[in-house]
């Protein structure tokens, strides 16, 4: 089949996944190398897709995709097409990241550490392929779609912040065991009327009671925002504060100061504090010497995402084309039966069709 006739289906179950796959759609459109449809389910079902959307199993069967790209962990096994894992983040050290769900034919890894680990598993399982491509979500960053000064001005205008103050982005993770949001609330409250602008961006699954507590702090230079794509906010921020969230690794691509609270892995990527009372001094230290951890940030990126050309989407599409053209997926062993997960995905799709 001519690759210009390939039919791609993007399957998302989380609202933030749209921004992961959108650069791939852009690459397909720019190169006129196929057609794209979207299917949203679970917590993403009520959000508008950035393209034509399918809403039923029947519509998917009629479309008959050649490729299904997924930033989540599961995908309907009964849909046609090569099933491709794109990943929802760069945090490969989190528990369960290397659990193989048995749904995918191809894992498109983001960097050498992830590639090495998945290749070891693939050698044992023999029912999926592994190719290193980089992560499409970061393509716009490396294509300089957002300049720092322009995007900072945009954030200040959009959220009516103080133009003379630096912008701090706070983006904590949501699991109760790891989130910094409760611990840092008092310290952030004490700093909110100081010499900083604050943008608070919570994960879509953040506990609503925590969200409301931060919402009560809103003022002229303190905003809680609900944007699905965090990258534009990162692009205009002087500093980002987080914890174990994978957004820490996304922010590294901007080479700006990062502050983490009780990070678990790669603590060297920025200032890692253990006590809320250390937050103020960490902010001042970051503003005074923004390049202090620049070498560490580069080192970290070399391990998890060494691609800075903005062409991860193109690499992924090329890999997919090669696999389909050469029929490499036809040589894979049969996947595990996986009855429970298959039942779960059927329920997810059924609810999205209701």
321 and 234 both lie in a single domain: no
165 and 295 both lie in a single domain: yes
Contacts 24+ apart (CB under 8 A), 320-326: 320/6, 320/67, 320/82, 320/84, 320/106, 321/3, 321/6, 323/82, 323/105, 323/106, 323/129, 324/1, 324/3, 324/6, 324/66, 324/67, 324/82, 325/3
**Confidence at residue 265, expressed as pLDDT on a 0 to 100 scale:** 87
| pLDDT, averaged across the chain | 95
What pLDDT digit, counting tens, does each position of 307-340 carry? 999 999 999 999 999 999 999 999 999 999 999 9
**Confidence at residue 5, expressed as pLDDT on a 0 to 100 scale:** 85
**Confidence at residue 93, expressed as pLDDT on a 0 to 100 scale:** 64
d(CA 249, CA 130): 22
Band of the pLDDT at 99, cuts 50, 70, 90?
confident
pLDDT at 2 over 60: no
What percent of the chain lies above the pLDDT cut of 90?
Answer: 91
52 and 152 both lie in a single domain: no
22 in Cβ contact with 29 (< 8 Å) = no
151 and 281 both lie in a single domain: yes
Q: What value does the CA radius of gyration of the chain take, rounded to a whole number of Å?
A: 21
What pLDDT digit, counting tens, does each position of 36-53 carry? 999 999 999 999 899 999
Q: How many residues does the chain have?
A: 354
169 and 109 both lie in a single domain: no
**Confidence at residue 307, expressed as pLDDT on a 0 to 100 scale:** 98
289 and 151 both lie in a single domain: yes
Strand order in the sheet with 258-261: 222-225, 197-201, 167-170, 239-242, 258-261, 271-273
82 and 189 both lie in a single domain: no
Band of the pLDDT at 193, cuts 50, 70, 90?
confident
What pLDDT digit, counting tens, does each position of 132-159 carry? 999 999 999 999 999 999 999 999 999 9
167 and 255 both lie in a single domain: yes
98 and 173 both lie in a single domain: no
199 and 299 both lie in a single domain: yes
d(CA 186, CA 98): 36
60 and 179 both lie in a single domain: no
Q: How many domains does the chain have?
A: 2
Band of the pLDDT at 253, cuts 50, 70, 90?
very high
Instruction: For the chain, give the longest Cα–Cα distance.
Output: 62
Question: Which residues span the domain enclosing 260?
Answer: 146-304
Token pair of 29 as six digits: 């459109």
CATH number, residue 178: 3.40.50.2000
What percent of the chain lies above the pLDDT cut of 70?
Answer: 98
What pLDDT digit, counting tens, does each position of 56-96 carry? 999 999 999 999 999 999 999 999 999 999 999 998 666 67
pLDDT at 125 over 80: yes
pLDDT at 97 over 70: yes
pLDDT at 192 over 60: yes
84 and 8 both lie in a single domain: yes
**Confidence at residue 4, expressed as pLDDT on a 0 to 100 scale:** 61
Mean per-residue pLDDT for 270-285? Answer: 98
Q: Is 32 left (phi over 0), alpha (psi -120 to 50) or beta?
A: left
**Confidence at residue 23, expressed as pLDDT on a 0 to 100 scale:** 98
């Amino acid at each position: 089949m001519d690759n210009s006739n390939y039919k791609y289906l993007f399957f998302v179950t989380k609202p933030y996944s749209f921004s992961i796959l959108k650069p791939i759609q852009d690459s397909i459109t720019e190169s006129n190398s196929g057609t794209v449809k979207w299917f949203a389910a679970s917590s993403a079902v009520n959000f508008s897709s950035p393209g034509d959307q399918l809403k039923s199993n029947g519509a998917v069967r009629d479309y008959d995709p050649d490729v299904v790209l997924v930033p989540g962990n599961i995908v309907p096994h009964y849909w046609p097409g090569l099933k491709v894992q794109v990943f929802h983040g760069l945090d490969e050290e989190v528990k369960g990241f290397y659990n193989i769900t048995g749904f995918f034919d191809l894992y498109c890894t983001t960097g050498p550490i992830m590639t090495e680990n998945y290749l070891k598993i693939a050698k044992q399982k023999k029912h999926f392929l592994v190719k290193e491509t980089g992560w499409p979500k970061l393509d716009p960053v490396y294509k300089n779609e957002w300049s720092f000064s322009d995007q900072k001005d945009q954030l200040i205008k959009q959220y009516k912040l103080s133009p003379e103050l630096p912008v701090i982005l706070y983006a904590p993770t949501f699991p109760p065991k790891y989130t910094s949001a409760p611990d840092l609330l008092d310290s952030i409250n004490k700093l909110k009327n100081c010499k900083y602008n604050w943008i608070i961006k919570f994960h879509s699954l953040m506990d609503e009671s925590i969200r409301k507590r931060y919402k009560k702090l809103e003022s002229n230079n303190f905003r809680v925002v609900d944007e699905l794509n965090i990258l534009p906010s990162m692009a205009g921020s002087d500093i980002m504060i987080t914890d174990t969230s994978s957004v820490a690794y996304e922010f590294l691509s901007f080479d700006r100061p990062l502050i983490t609270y009780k990070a678990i892995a790669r603590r060297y990527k920025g200032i890692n504090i253990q006590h809320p009372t250390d937050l103020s001094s960490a902010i001042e230290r970051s503003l005074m010497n923004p390049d202090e951890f620049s070498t560490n940030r580069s080192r970290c990126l070399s391990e998890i995402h060494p691609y800075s050309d903005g062409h991860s989407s193109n690499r992924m599409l090329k890999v997919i084309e090669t696999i389909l053209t050469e029929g490499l997926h036809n040589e894979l062993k049969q996947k595990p039966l996986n009855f429970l997960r298959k039942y779960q995905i059927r329920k997810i799709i059924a609810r999205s069709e209701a």
